């Protein structure tokens, strides 16, 4: 699933608007999302605290960054290995 295009603070403000009495239809028009998405966010935020949601978002972004670094290091390793094999003309 792709990451949300809206920040955690916007998601919490959407849920606060819903709790304040703004209709789901109005929120959907304002943020250009489907009603199902709004209900899912409301369920997710009511089950979790906002601090745990922010922590989860931070951990997910850190995980994406680390995966990119591992991929880059893997490519570097393969490139150096191929260069070493070519230079030495033997298998490493």
pLDDT of residue 44: 79
CA proximity to 43, closest of 9, 18, 80: 18
pLDDT of residue 1: 45
Separation CA 68–CA 84 (nearest Å): 24
Which of 40-44, 66-70, 77-81 holds the top average pLDDT?
Answer: 66-70
CA proximity to 38, closest of 47, 46, 28: 28
**Cβ neighbours, 10 Å, residue 8:** 16
Residue 30 reports pLDDT greater than 90:
no
pTM for the full predicted model? 0.45
Q: What single DSSP character describes residue 6?
A: S
| C-alpha dihedral (61, 56, 16, 30), degrees to nearest 10 | 30
pLDDT of residue 67: 97
Average of pLDDT values for 4-18?
78
pLDDT tens-place string over residues 53-77: 778 888 999 999 999 999 999 999 9
């Amino acid at each position: 699933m792709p990451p949300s295009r809206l920040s955690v603070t916007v998601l919490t403000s959407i849920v606060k608007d819903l709790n304040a009495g703004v209709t789901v239809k109005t929120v959907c028009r304002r943020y250009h999302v489907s009603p199902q998405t709004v209900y899912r966010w409301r369920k997710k935020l009511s089950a979790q605290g906002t601090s745990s949601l922010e922590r989860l978002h931070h951990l997910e972004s850190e995980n994406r960054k680390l995966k990119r670094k591992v991929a880059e290091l893997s490519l570097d390793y393969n490139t150096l290995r191929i260069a070493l094999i070519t230079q030495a003309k033997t298998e490493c």
